[in-house]
């Protein structure tokens, strides 16, 4: 259960942001990997490490998952963003063809391939069909069938969703306000928005019927009917509406922290999606990390379920010519920072 949005500020900054949840426990998304230019990649296939090979043109930073050198979210030094969002029951890949192993890769490889190879959405759109994304099961992810779709964005504000359905058909959609959640398909979510065209941030006016006047109880009555549950269709509608009604944002900093505030509406508490008889001791289904990427200024911000202090990594200050992938664990501090206010 993940939710993504995009915002733009008047000074030209392009911001993309998302929450990340994983249904099977603590995926350790609070660790990051720094991957350099020139890194040699070898993709996985169902037969092992015999997939596509390529050399990185760009360095990038990615959230991690279960210690893997990829995760749900990443940004490269050129300002390209790639996010993977769970797509169960809808993703349908072509069968693996050993004769095309040198063009094949797993979902995780696909994220690294895009981040290390391209600088714009247009390049991804043009080149995505060059590779075969194949089903590679990974036991570290809890043996759940891995199925994702991608949101790709760049500093121009261009943003697309890429889905593979019906046994290998690639579908590419221009995003609506940069919003993405999970299944079903993106075109279904866009159609479903027609059920909510009357929702507005403007409170409803009083109405008089048969001599009686009925007035709203208070502010927010224009949003009555906005779905508040955690299902993907409801989160898509809620994200679209809250993005559409976002206030004027003058600067990149304004947009960054507005993105955090909007995504607060999608935080899933631990246990909220579990049965009363089976409350979790881990993090299944809860919001584990919220990340905001400033694609214009190349800065990644995030906070986690354990520590809501906002941390940031400035990609402009990273030496991406340094060989070898590096794991950054500074963000993995799991004690909430609290600052005491002293009264003189």
Write down the residue that tokens 């809860």 correspond to: 286
Mind listing the pLDDT tens digit for each residue in 298-325?
999 999 988 899 999 999 999 999 999 9
pLDDT at residue 18, as a whole number: 97
Is the per-residue pLDDT at 275 higher than 80?
no
Mean pLDDT score of the chain = 92
Contact 47, 292 (CB under 8 A): no
146-188 pLDDT tens trace: 899 999 999 999 999 999 999 999 999 999 999 999 999 999 9
> Is a pLDDT exceeding 90 seen at residue 255?
yes
| pLDDT given at position 330 | 72
Ordered by where they begin, the domains of the chain are: 3-196+241-332 (3.60.60.10)
**DSSP-derived secondary structure letter, 182:** S
Cα three-residue angle 60-16-296, rounded to 5 degrees = 65
CA dihedral in degrees (166, 170, 171, 177; nearest 10)? 130
Which pLDDT does position 26 carry in this prediction?
Answer: 79
Residue 262's region, left for phi above 0, alpha for psi from -120 to 50, else beta, is: alpha
Nearest to 241 by CA among 187, 198, 287: 198
The share of the chain scoring above pLDDT 70, in percent, equals 95
Q: Residue holding tokens 């360095």?
A: 59
Strand 299-304 and strand 311-314: the pairing is antiparallel
Out of 83-97, 225-239, 261-275, pick the least confident. Answer: 261-275
Percent of the chain predicted with pLDDT > 90:
76
Q: Which residues pair with 37 in a beta bridge?
A: none
Q: Whole-angstrom Cα distance, residue 72 to residue 124?
A: 18
Per-residue pLDDT tens digits for 72-117 = 999 999 999 999 999 999 999 999 999 999 999 999 999 999 999 9
The count of C-alpha atoms lying within 13 angstroms of the C-alpha of 5, restricted to the half-sphere facing its C-beta, is 29
């Amino acid at each position: 259960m993940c939710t993504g949005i995009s915002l733009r500020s008047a000074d030209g900054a392009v911001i993309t942001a998302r929450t990340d949840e994983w249904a099977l426990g603590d995926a350790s998304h609070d660790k990051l990997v720094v991957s350099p230019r020139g890194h040699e990649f070898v993709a996985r296939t169902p037969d092992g490490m015999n997939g596509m090979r390529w050399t990185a043109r760009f360095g990038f930073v990615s959230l991690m998952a279960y210690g893997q050198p990829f995760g749900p979210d990443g940004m490269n030094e050129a300002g390209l963003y790639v996010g993977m969002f769970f797509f169960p029951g809808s993703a349908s890949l072509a069968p693996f063809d050993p004769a095309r192993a040198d063009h094949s890769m797993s979902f995780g490889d696909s994220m690294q391939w895009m981040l290390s190879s391209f600088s714009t959405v247009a390049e991804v759109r043009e080149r995505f069909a060059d590779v075969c994304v194949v089903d590679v099961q990974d036991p570290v992810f809890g043996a759940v069938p891995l199925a994702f779709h991608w949101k790709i964005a760049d500093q121009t504000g261009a943003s697309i969703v890429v889905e593979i359905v019906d046994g290998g058909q690639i579908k590419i959609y221009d995003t609506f306000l940069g919003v993405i959640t999970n299944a079903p398909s993106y075109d279904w979510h866009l159609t479903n928005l027609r059920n909510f065209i009357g929702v507005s941030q403007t409170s409803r006016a009083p109405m008089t019927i048969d001599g009686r006047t009925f007035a709203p109880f208070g502010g927010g009555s224009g949003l009555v009917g906005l779905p508040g549950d955690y299902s993907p269709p409801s989160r898509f509608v809620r994200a679209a509406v809250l993005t559409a009604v976002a206030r004027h944002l003058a600067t990149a900093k304004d947009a960054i922290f507005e993105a955090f505030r909007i995504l607060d509406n999608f935080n899933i508490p631990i246990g909220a999606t579990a049965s009363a008889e089976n409350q979790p001791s881990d993090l299944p289904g809860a919001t584990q990390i919220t990340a905001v990427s400033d694609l214009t200024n190349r800065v990644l911000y995030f906070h986690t379920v354990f520590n809501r202090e906002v941390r940031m990594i400035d990609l402009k200050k990273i030496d991406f010519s340094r060989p070898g992938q590096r794991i950054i664990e500074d963000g993995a501090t799991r004690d909430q920072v609290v600052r005491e206010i002293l009264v003189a």
